[in-house]
Structure 1
Amino acid sequence: MKIGIGLPNQVRDVRPGTVPVWARTAEEAGFSSLASLGRIAYPGVMDTVALAAAAGATREIALISTLLLAPVWPAVLLAKEVAGIDAVSGGRLTLGLGLGGRADDFVVEGCGPRGTGKRLDQDIETYRAVWRGEALPGCENPAVPAGTREVPMLFGGTAQASFDRAARKGRGYIGPSAPPAALGPAFERARTAWTAAGREGTPYLVALAYFVLGDEDRGRANVYDYYRPAGPEGARARAAETSGGAAAVRATARAFEELGVDELVFNPTVDDRDEVVRLADAVL
């Protein structure tokens, strides 16, 4: 199982200059990937910006969006943005996509919180047309340079349509941030949908887990704050599930490896660069 690390782009009031430094430190430490979190209505750094900063600050480490809220974007604009990040990185980006569950993230007129699944299926075809270099509607020019590749996609979500989408249109599935014991059924559904779709091999499975190895109280408070719109009970549960301390982090890694996950991304809860080194010492 590979082990990646999230960028701190959605830690409340993150210091934006931390992002490229964090990315370089993670690559030097030997993590498999750098991942972003996507949310609009929160005082963080946009996931596309964080990924672009990481692309420019590193040379080899993989980049994953976990998850980018696709339906909050006009499809052509997102396709062009993603193609640029991928090209700047030298083809290191995997696009992890989700529907979004918070109405306040839908800030673009015409891209509202209803009908997001159907819209995403349509948008995927737009992404691919843009990446193929097809001319934009009403224009003789394509949106991207010649030689742009089709960016591989992963999908998240817990509805059956999400598993089917991952099987039909993606490279695999990203599970939600939850304890390993709760995610076994989701990963099994992803495998079942993959087989039902007639795909060869198995889906690429990515798990997410919050961690803190320094100030545990602050880290858990930040997780609670991030999930507070879901209600105090749900926010407390997410905060309590955060892997605090080296022993807990190692236990989480072992549990996900036993589930047969291909890659585990540990998401930070504070923007202290020392967390990167501490995590590497614990699990790499």
Structure 2
Amino acid sequence: MKIGIGLPNQVRDMAPRVLPGWARRAEAAGFSTLATVGRTAYPGVLDTVALAAAAGATERIGLLSGVLLGPVWPPVLLAKELAGIDGVSGNRLTIGLGIGAREDDFVVDGRGPRGLGQRIDADLETYREVWDGEPVGGGTNPAVPPGTRRVPLLLGGSAPASYARMAKWGEGYVGGSVPPELVAPSFDQARAAWAEAGREGSPRLVALAYFALGDPEQGRGKVHDYYSNFGALADLIAGGVRTTPGELRQAVSDFAALGADELIFNPGTDNPADIEALAEVVL
């Protein structure tokens, strides 16, 4: 199982200037992937900006949005943004995609929090058309340069349609930031949907877990703040922040036992010292 690390792009009171250095240090430490967390109505740095910063600051490490809220974006614009990041990075980007659950994230006129399933299905079609170089805007020009690839997609979500969508469009599934025993049924459903769709092999399964080593209480508090409008779920996720070497090793063992292909440890704070502290335990 590969081990990646999140960027602190959606940590309350984070300093945006830490992102390029964080990315460089994570790559030097040997993590497999740098990942983002996605929201609009929260004081952080947008996924695409954080991923672009990481792409420019690194050379080898994988890049992942875990997850980006697709329906909050006009699809042609998002597809062009993602193709650009993928190209700049040398094809290191994978898009983890979700539909969103907080109404305040939908700030674009005409793209409110309704009909999200139908919207994302249509958007996925549009992404592929843009990446394939089809003309946009009613003219003859494509939105992307020659050589643009279809950016690999992972899908998140817990509705039956989410798993079917993953099996149709994606390369795998991103689990929620909840304890392993709650992720296990989602991984099973992802595998079942994959087989039902007649896909060969198995879906790529990515797990997410929070950690905070330098200041555990601050980390738990910031994670709880991020999920505060989800009620009891905020308590569950914040209570699951890994803050000791033993808890980190247990998370690695538990998610490996579920068959995860990769585990991303998302930070509870923007303290760069936590990068090397985490690497020392889990790599």
Indicate the TM-score class for this superposition, using the shorter chain for normalisation. Answer: over 0.9
Separation in 2, partners of 1:203, 1:73: 26
Aligned letter for 1:24? R
Separation in 1, partners of 2:125, 2:183: 29
The worse-fitting range, judged by mean Cα deviation, of 137-146 and 95-104 is 137-146
Aligned letter for 2:113? P
Aligned letter for 1:97? L
* 1:35 has 2:30 as partner: no
Q: Which residue is equivalent to 1:105?
A: 105
Aligned letter for 2:249? R
The Cα shift of 1:234 comes to 2.3
The Cα shift of 1:137 comes to 3.3
Separation in 1, partners of 2:14, 2:212: 15
- Which secondary structure state, in structure 2, belongs to the residue aligned with residue 64 of structure 1? strand
Q: Which residue is equivalent to 1:260?
A: 259
Which string of whole-angstrom CA distances, capped at 9 and with x for unpartnered residues, describes residues 149-208 of structure 1?
Answer: 110100000001011111111000000001111111110000000000000000000000
- Which secondary structure state, in structure 2, belongs to the residue aligned with residue 66 of structure 1? strand
Q: Which residue is equivalent to 1:83?
A: 83
Aligned letter for 1:76? V
* 1:150 has 2:147 as partner: no
* 1:118 has 2:111 as partner: no
Separation in 2, partners of 1:170, 1:251: 29
Q: Which residue is equivalent to 2:268?
A: 269
Q: Tell me the TM-score normalized by structure 2.
A: 0.99
Q: Tell me the TM-score normalized by structure 1.
A: 0.99
Asked if the contact 2:156–2:173 (Cα under 8 Å) also holds between the matched residues in 1, the reply is yes
Separation in 1, partners of 2:59, 2:233: 38
Separation in 2, partners of 1:273, 1:136: 41
Query: What count of residue pairs does the alignment treat as equivalent?
Result: 283
Q: Which residue is equivalent to 1:96?
A: 96
The worse-fitting range, judged by mean Cα deviation, of 117-126 and 133-142 is 133-142
Which string of whole-angstrom CA distances, capped at 9 and with x for unpartnered residues, describes residues 226-262 of structure 1?
Answer: 011112x222221101111111011011000011100
Separation in 2, partners of 1:79, 1:224: 31
Separation in 1, partners of 2:234, 2:208: 16
Structure 1 residue runs of 5 or longer lacking an equivalent are none
Q: Which residue is equivalent to 2:60?
A: 60
Q: Which residue is equivalent to 1:283?
A: 282
Separation in 2, partners of 1:147, 1:239: 43
Asked if the contact 2:178–2:236 (Cα under 8 Å) also holds between the matched residues in 1, the reply is no
Structure 2 residue runs of 5 or longer lacking an equivalent are none
Separation in 2, partners of 1:217, 1:200: 44
Separation in 2, partners of 1:167, 1:74: 23
Q: Which residue is equivalent to 1:160?
A: 160
Separation in 1, partners of 2:133, 2:155: 23
Which string of whole-angstrom CA distances, capped at 9 and with x for unpartnered residues, describes residues 1-47 of structure 1?
Answer: 00000000000121001001000000000000000011000000011
Aligned letter for 2:112? G
The Cα shift of 1:55 comes to 0.1
- Structure 1 residue ranges, 4+ long, deviating more than 2 angstroms after superposition: none
Separation in 1, partners of 2:94, 2:117: 20
Identity of aligned residues (%): 60
Aligned letter for 1:220? R
Separation in 2, partners of 1:237, 1:200: 35
Separation in 2, partners of 1:252, 1:65: 21
